[in-house]
Every structure is written in C-alpha cells, then in structure tokens.
Structure 1
Amino acid sequence: MNLLRAASTVSLLTLASRITGLARDTLIAAAFGASGWADAFNVAFRIPNLLRRLFAEGAFAQAFVPLLGETRGREGDDATRRLVDAVATMLFWTLIVTVAIGIVAAPAVVWLMASALQEFDGAVVMTRIMFPYIGFMSLVALAAGVLNTWKRFAVPAATPVLLNVSMILAAWLLVPQFRRWGIEPAYALAVGVMVGGVLQLAIQVPALMRIGCLPRIGLTPSRIAAAWHHPGVHRTLQLMLPAVLGVSVAQLSMIINTQIASHVSVGAVSWLFYADRLMEFPTGLLGVALGVVLIPQLSQAHGRGDATGYSAMLDWGLRLVLLLTLPCAAALLVFGTPLIAVLFHRGQFTAADVHQTVMALRGYGVGLIGIVAVKVLAPGFYASLNVRTPVKIAVGVLVLTQILNWLLVPYLGHAALALSISLGATVNALLLFFGLRRRGSYVPSPGWGAFAARVVLATAVMSGALWYAAGLVDWVALGRHEWQRVGWLAACMAMAVLLYFATLLATGLKFKQFMRRG
C-alpha cells in the first residue's frame, strides 16, 4: 500500500469534512454570533465531543486499533472477526448505560464544564438532546478501526461530512422554523447533531458488510457472557485503562479551560471555539490523516518485528508534519484577521468578535506543529502497545498547561488559554520525540538538516507575502463587499501556496522522497 496515497485519500476526504465544517460554523456564527446562546450550544456540543474523544477516538481507539492490527497480523482474519464481535458487544451495552446516566446527570455535567454560563438551563436541555451522540460515535469509532485495519480508509474519513451537512441543514432550515414556532432556535442545532450521529453510524454498515466484518452484537445473557470472557476484551480493557488516564488528562485540560473561559467574559467560549475550528483544519488534514494511516501499519510492523520499517514510517510522518504544518502555523500567526473576517464576520458576528477570535487563533498558531506532531509521535508508542509513557507525559503537560494559565490569563485573557494549550502540546511533542529516540524506536534518516532549512526558507518567503497582504486592505470593513473580500482571500491563499512550493522546488527539494510503501 502506498502510504502517501492512503494519507492523501484520508486528507482529501477530511478536507471535505473541514470545508463543510467551516460552512457549518459560518452559518452558526452568523445566526448566533458570540452570544450567551452560542456559548451554551458550544459547551453542550463540547460535552459529547469530549466523551467521544475520551472513549471513542481516544482511549478505545488507542487500545483497540493496535490490538486489532496485531491480531490480524499474527492470527488471521477469522480470529480478528471474533475479537470484533466480542468487543462490539461489550461496547454496545456499556454505551447504553453511559448515555442513560449522562441524560439524567446533565445539569451536573454542564456545571462542571462551565458553571458561569449565561444560558445555563438551555445548555442543559441541549446536552440532554445530544448525549446519545456519544453512543453513535463510539460505534462509528469501532467501525473505523476495523475498516482502517482492512485498509479501507475512505468511508471513515468521509463520515464526518454527514454531521456537518446535517447541522448546516439544521442552521439553514430548522433555526428559522424554530423561531416561527416560538422554540429557542439554538435547540435546532442540537437536533442536527443527533441526526448527523445516526447518519454517520448508518453509512458504516454497508462498508463493514463488504469486508465481512459487520459486528454481531450479543443481545442475550449467554452471548454477553461469552463476549466478556473473550481474551481480547480483557486485553483491550487492560490497554484502555492507562489510555483513559492519558486521554482524560487532555480532556480535563479542555474542561478547565472552558470553565475559565466562561468566567472571563460572555463570548469567550465562542471565540475559542471558532479559533479552534480553524486550527483544526490543518490538524485534521494532516495530523488525523497520518494517525489513521500510521497506527495500523506501525502495529503490523511491530507484529512482524520490523524495527527498520517502523522507524522509517515515523520518519516519513515527521517530515510531512514539518513540510505541511510549518507554513500553516505561519499563516495562522500573520494572516489570522483575513481568515477570521472572511469566514465569520457577518450577521451577529461583529468586528470585535473578529479581533478577539484572532487573538485566540494566534495562540493556537504558536503550537500548531506540536499539536500535529503529537498525532504522529504518540502512535509510535501506541502501536507497540506502550500506553504508559504517553500517559505520564500527558499528566506532566496538564500541570504545565494550568500553571501557564495561572500566569498568563490575568494578562492575556481568553487568548492565554489557547497559548497555554499550544505551549503544552509543544512540550508534549518534544518529550514523545526524545522518548522514541531513547527507546531506539525512531532513528532519523539522513538529510534532516538540509530538508528543514528548505522548509524554513520557503515558509519565510510565504509569510512575508501574507504579512504584506494582511495589511494591504481593511479586511473587516471590506465586509460591505462580501464577494470582493472572498476573492481577495482566495487570491492571497493561492499566491501563498504557489510561493511556498515554488521556493521548495527552487531549493532542490525532491518530493519523490514522500512516495513510500508500507
């Protein structure tokens, strides 16, 4: 399998997801701005997303996917399918209980996330509407792990588009309808999330059937007992326990930051949310795509005892991170105002909201390379079934992040919360990197110095052009001419991309080095 082609497939489909996600967020920003109801929805939506990252895409995926890849590499497809059936059965019944508890305990959950919300009761209602979403997404994560192990990357990567389309339709059609009915319009967004969750799970079924891996979930006590006694279930749980702690650390940091933001001012939660959405664009296109492709391949290389191939795949991933993330980070730092103004400045989203969101975006830009690099470096541990090391590092990073919040928030406000996350992610990436080097899992290939110099030079050339373009016009005032502003942004971004890659080619960078098989 060509790893670059696989990663490109995931990236292109993730691009579709990110574009529809930005369209979704643009509609929501125009309808609600950075108001109290916008904060309430963002907190309520963050709760199932937090649990999704904790149990579905987080600890569960980190434990289950490497085990799945190792089982398939050593024992074959039939044993792997039995493992899938057993794990799916236990996951299904665990989710039933979790969702029921979450709906009942919604007021306490919202209070823990953001006790100072202006629209606290509305956030509770939306949390109850959206809590079953964690159930759908956990089963989607299981399906994605199976499909990725069978090297079927397209469906899992395309799945998030369905959530975005559902929410776009909700913002476009249901929000005005709810207003006419006298129902709070923000509730329409929660309905859109739930419909999106159903659609995301439904699209997995045909793809799983095509590879003969549609899970057979046990519904009787005997089937449930048999699933519980499957050794793979206990192995998954053993691997999940430290992974839960590690992912919990990251999510705990987000909870604390949301709580602090709710006390900073009305709108702070939303400013951080919109900045985070833009930061997630390069993170998803590259970091998520590389993680999805690398974990199964690294797991199988570990199962074969191929240390050289293991190291080479990590080196390939890190070079791609530097090549594609450094220019993105620079763009967030010097070109934030045009990006935020074009994407969100309309309707209820004011010029003041643009400024405040840009401040948060710059905070994220400082650590974008670290944020993306973690998604390549952490699989270097997970694929060898070493979860403890990333967990220990994550705990230390949590402490560091909150110390930085304590020092910086009084001076920088909500922007300090983004900056602290960035600095913490950078430290996290460095510790993971040196940990892999110390274990001998990663040995850098020759030529890193010349490669990095070319990337830095090309980024500097591109950044200078973007900095000039950012000050060339008043991007906020240009909102009176919407399509002219969009055209200017498209021209500037096209120029930046051409400048960057032309400089790389002029300095002699060979793109063929990224065409590797795994």
Structure 2
Amino acid sequence: MNLYRAIGSIGGLTMVSRVLGFARDMIGSRILGASHANDAFNLAFLLPNIFRRLFAEGAFSSGFVPLFSRRLASGGDKEAEAFSNEILSVFMPALLAVTLLFVVFMPGVLLLVVPDYADTPGKMELAVELTRWTFPYLLFISLVALLSGILNSLTRFAVAAFAPALLNLTLIVALLIAPSDKIEVVRYMAWAVLVGGILQFALCWVAVQKAGVKLRFGKPRLTPAVRELVILVLPATLAAGVYQISQLFYAYFSSQLGEGALTKLSYADRLNQLPLSIIGTALGVAILPAISQAIARGNEDDASDVQARAFDLSMLLTLPATLALVVAAGPIIGALYQGGEYSVEDARVTGNILAILVTGLPAYVLVKVLTPAFYARKNVKTPVRIAMAVLGLGIVANFVLIPIIGIYSLATVTSVSAWINFALLFGILYAKGHFRMPAWLVLRISKQMIAALAMAAALYGIRILAGDMFLGGVVERVLALGALVGIGGAIYFAVAWMIGGMDREAIAALRRKKPVQ
C-alpha cells in the first residue's frame, strides 16, 4: 500500500466535505447567530453523532476491519462476504431498536442532558422536535460505517471518504431554501440531516455491491463470527461510551453557560476537527488494514515501519496546522463566522476557545495513529482502560474548572486529556516493544518543529499587517485568509524541505505515482 497516496485520497475527499461544512456553518452563523434556535439544532446534531461514534466509527470499525481483512486474506471474497452479511443481519435490528427507543423517550433524555434549556421558553420543545428528526440519522450513518469498513479493507477509500460531503450539501440546500424565520430554518436543517444520512447510505451500498460484495438483510443469528466481533468490540465500545458520556457532559455544561454557548463551542470544534479528520482519521483508516495484515503475516518490522511513517506524516501536516490556528484563531473565526447575527463578541469568544482547543491537536492525531497498533493485535482493553481513566478525570476537572474559567474550561480539559491519552498509549507501546521511535523520526520531527515556528512568526506578521481585513468585505476576507494559508504553507514546506523535515524520496515517488517502499 502506498501510504502517501492512500492518505491523499482519503484526506483530499475529506477536505471536500469539510470545506462544504464550513460553507454550511458560514451561512448558518449569519442567519441564526449564537441563538437558542442554533443551540437547539447543534444539540440535535450532536446526539446522533455521539451514538454514531459509540456504535459505529471507532469501536466497531476497529474490530470489524481486522476480522474482515483476516477472512479476506484466508478465505477470499466469499468468506469475507459471508462474514459481512452475518454482522449486518445483527447490526441492523440492534440499531433500529436503539433509534426507536430514543425517539420515543427523547423528552426525558434531553431533560437529563440539558435541563437548563427548560428555562428558555420554547427551547426545550424545539430541541426535542429537532432531535426526533435527526436521531434516525444514527441508523443510516452507522450502516455507512459498516459499508465503509468493507470498502476500506478492500483499499477502496474514495467513496467512504466522500460520503460525508452529501450531508453538508443537503444542509446547505436546506439553509438556502428555508423561510427566513429562525425556527423554520433549523427545522429544515433537521430534515436535511436525515436526508443526508439516507444519501450516504445509498452511495456506500452501491459502491460495496460494485466492489463484488453482495450484502443482504437476513435473519439475525448469534454466529461464532458475530460473537467474535462482539467480544472484540465490546471493550472498545465501553471506552467509547465513557467518551460519549463526556460529550453529554459537554452539552450539559454548555447549557449552564448561557445562550449560544453550545454554538460557539461547536463552531470552534469544527476548525479543530478539520485537520483531525483530514490527517488523523485518514491515517487511522489507512494504516489499520496495513498493520493488521503485517501482523497476520508475523512481520512486526513491517507493522512498526507503517506506524513510524504514519507518525512522521501526521506531524508533518499537524504541526503547521496547530501553530497556524493558535496564532491566527481570532482572525480566522472572524473571517469565517462574524457577520449578520454573529456578533464581534461571539467571534472573539469562539476564537479564544479555538486557540485553547488546538493546543491538543497533535495529541488528538497521534492517538489516532497509535490506537491501530493495539486494535490490530486484538488488544482493545488497554486503550479502554486509558480512555476510562483520562476521560473520567476530565469530567471531574470540568466540574472544578467551570466556575473558575467558564466556557474555556471545556477546551482546556479536552486538550490536556488528549496529551495524557497519547503519553500513556505511547509509553505502553514502547514498553512492550511494539513501537520505538527510530532516530530518523526524532530528528525529522525536530526539523518539522523548526519549520513550523518559522511559519508561525510569519503568520503573526501577516496578522498584524492585514489588520481589519479579516473583518472586511467578502473580497478582503478571502484575500486575508488566502494570504495566511498560502504564505504560511509556502514558508513551512519550503523550510521543511530545505532542512530535511520531510521524506523527499517518498514525495518524489508519489509524484511519479510509484509505491513508497
């Protein structure tokens, strides 16, 4: 597998979705502002995504992909197809049952999660209505996770990476055609979430069929394959459950911080998630099958090499993104969101949240890089224990810090927790001999840091020179952001290239479209 080309394919198409997501948020922020209607929609969008990550993307994929890859290698397409159908037949009714339960009992659920919404007339009722429309998205997007696992195992990354763009396209259409009333706007957006989930499912379903894997919804049976997956996934699901509980506390705390708090936190997190999704998620998706196959062959050296190259590539791309967002968080938020109903003060607070949140970005990405080393060895217990300990402490820390630093507590605790999580994962892999940072990797990351610092100094100068351009008209904002991204990127990669902060041979091989050995 050519790691650079795989990451380029996944990251590039993920970037398309994220750009559309920013377009969606830019339109939405100007129409809705930091209002209770926008808070209600962000909550309605958050809840199904919390359970999507719990039941699907993380824990499920980490167990499904190695098992599917193993059957593909040992028994060929037919055995892998049979395994997929056994899982689908159990996965589908379980998701349907969970979805129906939450839709029926949604008023009680939200009363537990965001009790303070009841203090604003109509806010709780609106949140319940919107969440009942968005929650069935969980069913379709979880099935998309299964289909994406099949496609990724077959190294067909493009469709799964592009699918989320369909959700953002439907949301943009909803914003453009909705009536001007804020309540009606968020209703249209909630309906669009459900439509987007159906479209993603349809796209991935067709892609899997074209890949030669014939799926069907059969009678659920607890076969040995299903039991094996459940045993493998259950601990990781428990770990994800702890994380999702922390996300529910995230919503709970935000409901106590006044109108617009959840909206500001959500907009800041969108920018933080951009490099995390493009770099971290793409790397995690790309290297899990490669590490699993290397370990299945008994080749630990190959597995370690994949891990080291992923570590190198992640830092090459993450370090500049981190420093750029720290230095220019305020101007970037102002250029993207300020205007219409989104005030100067709203943008200032959102920028501060972003600057704090991205200090943990390298750790977030490296956790994505290191975790597959555990999953590929069927060791999900260790990441579980670490996640439970770190996130449990994070919840306690928020209870302590919220009264002291308010909304900034959530970003601070999230960032610190990510670094603790990374340090523990790395320490255990090192102690077991599964991953050691070779000297070339340490030296290269040091050079990448030098290049990133040079870029940060240049960005600080651009920020001063650009002044109010970040808050000017559309043309001025585009020019100012273009200068930040273009000049900053050029300086970073030029310095990194000159001082040896990147793998020149790998990039040359990529340009020649030859695999990196």
Q: Give percent identity, aligned residues only.
A: 36
CA distance in 2, matches of 1:426, 1:328: 17
Displacement after TM superposition at 1:284 (Å): 0.8
Aligned with residue 173 of structure 1, among 174, 177, 188 = 177
**CA offset digits 1:128-163 (Å, max 9, x no partner):** 011110000011001000001111000000000000
How do 1:445-460 and structure 2 match up within 5 A? Answer: 445-460=438-453
Aligned to 1:497: 489
How do 1:335-414 and structure 2 match up within 5 A? Answer: 335-414=328-407
CA distance in 2, matches of 1:38, 1:453: 43
Aligned with residue 511 of structure 1, among 481, 504, 509 = 504
Give the match's secondary structure for 2:439: coil
CA distance in 2, matches of 1:208, 1:54: 23
| Contact residue 116 and residue 256 of structure 2 kept, 8 A | yes
CA distance in 2, matches of 1:73, 1:443: 28
472 and 232 in structure 1: CA distance in 2 versus 1, 3 angstrom threshold: same
246 and 494 in structure 1: CA distance in 2 versus 1, 3 angstrom threshold: same
- TM-score (norm: length of structure 1): 0.95
CA distance in 2, matches of 1:288, 1:449: 23
Displacement after TM superposition at 1:175 (Å): 4.2
CA distance in 2, matches of 1:83, 1:26: 43
Displacement after TM superposition at 1:480 (Å): 4.0
- Is 1:71–2:75 an aligned residue pair? no
| Contact residue 335 and residue 470 of structure 2 kept, 8 A | no
CA distance in 2, matches of 1:431, 1:170: 44
Give the match's secondary structure for 1:76: helix
| Contact residue 370 and residue 425 of structure 1 kept, 8 A | yes
CA distance in 2, matches of 1:65, 1:401: 30
Aligned to 2:410: 417
Aligned to 1:29: 29
Aligned to 2:479: 487
302 and 253 in structure 1: CA distance in 2 versus 1, 3 angstrom threshold: same
| Contact residue 34 and residue 270 of structure 1 kept, 8 A | yes
| Contact residue 360 and residue 416 of structure 1 kept, 8 A | no
**CA offset digits 1:51-97 (Å, max 9, x no partner):** 11110112211221121112222332211110001100111111221
Aligned to 2:193: 193
CA distance in 1, matches of 2:308, 2:396: 33
Give the match's secondary structure for 1:443: coil
Aligned to 2:512: none
Aligned to 1:144: 148
Displacement after TM superposition at 1:478 (Å): 5.2
- Is 1:126–2:118 an aligned residue pair? no
How do 1:239-278 and structure 2 match up within 5 A? Answer: 239-278=232-271
Give the match's secondary structure for 2:56: helix
Give the match's secondary structure for 2:22: helix
257 and 480 in structure 1: CA distance in 2 versus 1, 3 angstrom threshold: same
| Contact residue 43 and residue 110 of structure 1 kept, 8 A | no
Q: Give structure 2 stretches of 5+ with no counterpart.
A: 510-514
CA distance in 2, matches of 1:67, 1:401: 33
CA distance in 2, matches of 1:152, 1:205: 13
Displacement after TM superposition at 1:449 (Å): 3.1
Q: Give structure 1 stretches of 5+ with no counterpart.
A: none
- TM-score (norm: length of structure 2): 0.95
CA distance in 2, matches of 1:338, 1:168: 24
CA distance in 2, matches of 1:211, 1:232: 22
Displacement after TM superposition at 1:38 (Å): 0.8
Aligned with residue 469 of structure 1, among 459, 462, 469 = 462
| Contact residue 312 and residue 445 of structure 1 kept, 8 A | no
Displacement after TM superposition at 1:342 (Å): 1.1
CA distance in 2, matches of 1:508, 1:287: 23
Taking only aligned residues, the RMSD between alpha carbons, in angstroms, comes to: 1.6
Give the match's secondary structure for 1:335: helix
| Contact residue 74 and residue 303 of structure 1 kept, 8 A | no
Aligned with residue 322 of structure 1, among 309, 315, 322 = 315
Q: Does 47-56 or 446-455 show the bigger shift?
A: 446-455
| Contact residue 332 and residue 470 of structure 2 kept, 8 A | no
Aligned to 1:135: 139
Give the match's secondary structure for 1:185: helix
CA distance in 1, matches of 2:470, 2:427: 47
- Is 1:91–2:106 an aligned residue pair? no
CA distance in 1, matches of 2:288, 2:109: 32
Aligned to 1:203: 203
Letter in 2 for 1:23: A
- Is 1:235–2:228 an aligned residue pair? yes
Aligned to 1:310: 303
How do 1:289-300 and structure 2 match up within 5 A? Answer: 289-300=282-293
Letter in 2 for 1:311: S
Aligned to 1:108: 108
CA distance in 1, matches of 2:454, 2:231: 49
**CA offset digits 1:160-181 (Å, max 9, x no partner):** 00000000000111244xx4xx
